[in-house]
Structure formats: structure tokens, C-alpha cells
Amino acid sequence: MKIGILTSGGDCPGLNAVIRGAVLKGIKVHGQEFVGFRDGWRGVVEGDVMDLPRHAVRGISKQGGTILGTSRTNPFEGNGGADAIKENLERLGIDAMIAIGGEGTLAAAKRLTDLGLKIVGVPKTVDNDLDATDYTFGFDTAVQIATEAIDRLRTTGESHSRCMIAEVMGRHVGWIALHAGMASGAHAILIPEQQTSIEQIAEWVSDANARGRAPLVVVAEGFVPSHMEQAHSERGLDTFGRPRLGGIADQLAPELEARTGIETRATILGHIQRGGVPTSFDRVLATRLGMAAVDSVSDELWGTMVSLNGTEIAHVGFEAALGNLKRVPQHRYDEAAILFG
């Protein structure tokens, strides 16, 4: 059996470990053959592939990014669509596909599976917002990078007696902000699931300052203050029609400085959170998911994705992952809020 692997959407630490795990187990256990689609769905639509023999994946689990390249191509636009993709797969002799990606990638994979293509999925998102899996690889790395950066911001904040605001990723959910904020001892954590007033944030900042601390605020890019109706976006739309977020920290900084009288600086961590080498946790998780994905192919579990359930790998339908976002529950936020101010 010949399997095509694609990585689509935003890059993420751990993608290469998935590829390596899939290729090694597929070759050694199932006798499978592998090719990689270049640049995600673009490679699928255009039939642009590269061979993936065993030596091609040697030592790549520790590398960040993806050796296959990625893009945000919509497989149903332009020359795409199920019929065109089927023709490409038949021409290339590819029997099945492993799609590694987030919500958009898996939604496209489900739609194509419903139209008769043989696809299994591997969930990927640094935001950790996909339902039906306890953790996604890349999240642990993003939290570690954010925590290290925030630790550095804290030292300069304390040196100058400033309030420091760190903006992290999190379009719809605040998992990175929650974990990095708790790990770094933030005096306020602002997430999309919780609308908070500028007055309340200013109170937390002032309380910390009154105790002789340099206030530290961690905010997710998708946070919506109570005086705003939607997340801050001034960079247009992406290829899937979603607003490009980022910059809420720059909006909060002058507001907090005006209300508290404390010099306030904002830092947007941005893409640095999903660059570089994956943590050991993410390397292990990604490798296990890759190996489980080739088992799904061997068992013909089309329309399913592999997921982490506790410490075990499970196989669930695409619809289970796409039905709801995995949001930060109220009790987790309340737990963190005890530490605010």
C-alpha cells in the first residue's frame, strides 16, 4: 500500500516526529510505501509529491517545522475538488492519505472522506483547542516557549518597575495563556472564554503594584474586553475567511497606563511560539500519533483521527473532533484567578 502524507495549516513543533513515526512503523510493520505532498493541500491538488523512504526521515523528530512544507490552501478551490484529487491519487498510485493538521485541515479531510476518499487524520494545533483529544502536540512546546519569554519580560519589568503585558496565541481558546500565565506567576490572565473589564484588569495591576511587584499580564490574542464586541483584528482575513488576530496587548497597554499611572509595555510573542525544536513531551506524543495513524490506514478506519485519551492513543471520528472547540472550563479559570492581583 502506498500512502501520501500531508501537513497543512500553521506549522508546529512535532510535525516531523509524526512523519517519522508513521514512515518507520509503516515500513517496518505493515510493509507500506510513503510519499509526502509538498505544501499541504496544494501538493494534493497539484499532484506535487516527494518520496519518503526510511533514510528521508532519519533524525527529523527533533526538528521544528515540517520537511514537507505547509500552506493554507483550500483543496476545494481552483483546480481542486474530490474528482480532481482522486485523479491525482490514481495517477500517482496512492492508495490512502494521512492528513496532519488542525480544525480546517480535518474539516476538509472529513468532507473529502464523505466524498469517497480514503483519509485518516492526525490532530495538530498549538492552541490545544481540538475536541476529542486531551492534548495536541505543539501545545507543550508553545507553553514552554511562552513561559521562558514571559520569565524574561518579568526581569526587565522588575528592573524598571513597569507593568508588562505578554500576548500569546489563542484565537478562540486560552489554553496557552492559562498554562503559561500560571507557570510564570502572572497577576492577570486574559482569555477568550472570559470577558473582563478594563477596570478589573487595572485593579489587578494596581493591587500587584501596591505589594511592590512589577505587574505581569498574560493575554491571549483572541481576548475580547467587555467594552469590545469582537477580537481585535486589523490585518484582514486569511485564506479561509477568518480575521487575522493580534495586537490586543498594544490596545490594552495605554488603557492600563492611563488608569493606573504605571508605565506599561506590551510584547507580542507571535510566531516565535510555534517555531524551534519540540519538547520531549511533544516528540513522544507526535511519534505515537504517527505510528497509530498507519495502524488506522492498515485497519481501513477512514474518516477517523488518532487522539490522546489519558495516556492511551484512541481512534475517533472526524465529527467528534470538529463538533465543538475544547474551551477552558470555568473551574480551571477560577482556579487560576485565585492568584491574580
Calculate ∠ Cα 252-257-261, nearest 5°.
Answer: 160
Name residue 24's amino acid. L
Neighbouring-strand partners of residue 164 = 216, 265
The torsion region of residue 248 among left (phi > 0), alpha (psi -120 to 50) and beta comes to: alpha
- For 119, the enclosing helix (H) or strand (E) is strand 119-123
| Cβ-proximal residues to 18 (8 Å cutoff; 6+ apart), any chain | 7, 100, 122, 124, 137, 286, 287, 289, 290, 293
Assign 140 to helix, strand or coil.
Answer: helix
- The Cα 326–Cα 331 span in angstroms is 14
Q: Which of 39, 127, 282, 295 is catalytic?
A: 127
Q: Quote the CA–CA distance of 306 and 192 in Å, as a whole number.
A: 27
**Is residue 127 flagged as an active site residue?**
yes
Secondary structure of residue 61 in the 3-state scheme: coil
List, by residue number, the catalytic residues.
Answer: 127
